[in-house]
Amino acid sequence: METKRSLTYLRAKKKVETLKGFYSHLAVFVIINTGIIVINANVFGKGPTNFEDWGNYFTLFFWGIGLVSHAIYAFFVLKVRNNFLKRWEEKKINQFLDEEI
């Protein structure tokens, strides 16, 4: 019974770590890209502010693709593949426990 409880705890901990990683990724994405756009758009300079240059959004676009794929993994793939992963993990754990006994 205790083994089952510890396995459930480890799975929950893995999910929390995955979500924490995604939220950290999102926070860094927002902070860094806001800074890049503000600096590249010359907001603090004496010249005219230009938000129309596509070069300002290059990092935002490609990093956004990575962020979306991270979100898909964190919120959807883990839930869809969860049954397969649970069965595989339990099978492997039982295999290792049998080898030790």
pLDDT at 83 > cutoff 70: no
Distance, CA of 83 to CA of 18 (rounded, Å)? 17
pLDDT at 80 > cutoff 70: no
The arithmetic mean of pLDDT across residues 1-25, rounded, is 83
Q: Categorize the per-residue pLDDT at 90 as very low, low, confident or very high, splitting at 50, 70 and 90.
A: confident
* pLDDT at position 99: 76
pTM of the model: 0.68
pLDDT at 75 > cutoff 80: yes
Quick check: 59 and 33 in contact, CB under 8 A? yes
Backbone φ, ψ for residue 48 (5° rounding): -70, 145
Domain boundaries, the chain: 2-100
Per-residue tokens: 29: 């994405």
Query: What is the crossing angle of helices 2-40 and 58-72, to 10°?
Result: 170
Distance, CA of 52 to CA of 60 (rounded, Å)? 14
